[in-house]
């Protein structure tokens, strides 16, 4: 892993808060209270596509994505989990894991471009991060 040269894209920094570190990825909570929404960012420099990772890194990313998806499923019991690596706006490789519900503001459409992000209150952000971190420790 080339973590020494890894720099998180400034848009991901602005739009999310750190939750934890997995072996390969930084896990961040998107600052949008409309949806329980995590992003996983491999700490590998200059990676834009899944195919830019080596086989071991791709395998690890899959395992860590599964772990994040299970975390959201266990914590929120969503109707559906959306998992995607798009990169059209932020080219740096990152994987979205989003818990979706029939009563969420964008259901059943994708979350992007549907409604304005609703940032967490400072207290809500602390509470959500604390709850998810506690579940990760179990």
Average confidence (pLDDT) per 10 residues, the chain, 138 residues: 78 98 98 98 97 98 99 98 96 98 97 94 98 94
CATH topology of domain 3-137: HIT family, subunit A (3.30.428)
pLDDT tens column, 83-118: 999 999 999 999 999 999 999 999 999 999 889 999
CB 12 within 8 A of CB 94: yes
Q: For the chain, which residues make up each domain, given as ranges? A: 3-137
pLDDT at 138: 83
């Amino acid at each position: 892993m080339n973590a020494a040269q890894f720099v998180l894209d400034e848009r991901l920094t602005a739009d999310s808060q750190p939750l934890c570190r997995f072996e390969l990825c930084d896990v961040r909570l998107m600052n949008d209270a409309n949806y329980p929404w995590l992003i996983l960012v491999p700490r590998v420099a200059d990676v834009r596509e899944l195919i830019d990772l080596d086989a071991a890194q791709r395998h690890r990313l899959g395992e860590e994505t599964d772990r994040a998806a299970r975390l959201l499923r266990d914590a929120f019991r969503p109707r559906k989990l959306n998992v995607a690596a798009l990169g059209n706006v932020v080219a740096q490789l990152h994987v979205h894991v989003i818990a979706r519900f029939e009563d969420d503001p964008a259901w059943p459409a994708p979350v992007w471009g549907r409604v304005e992000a609703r940032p967490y209150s400072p207290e809500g952000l602390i509470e959500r991060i604390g709850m998810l971190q506690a579940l990760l420790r179990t």
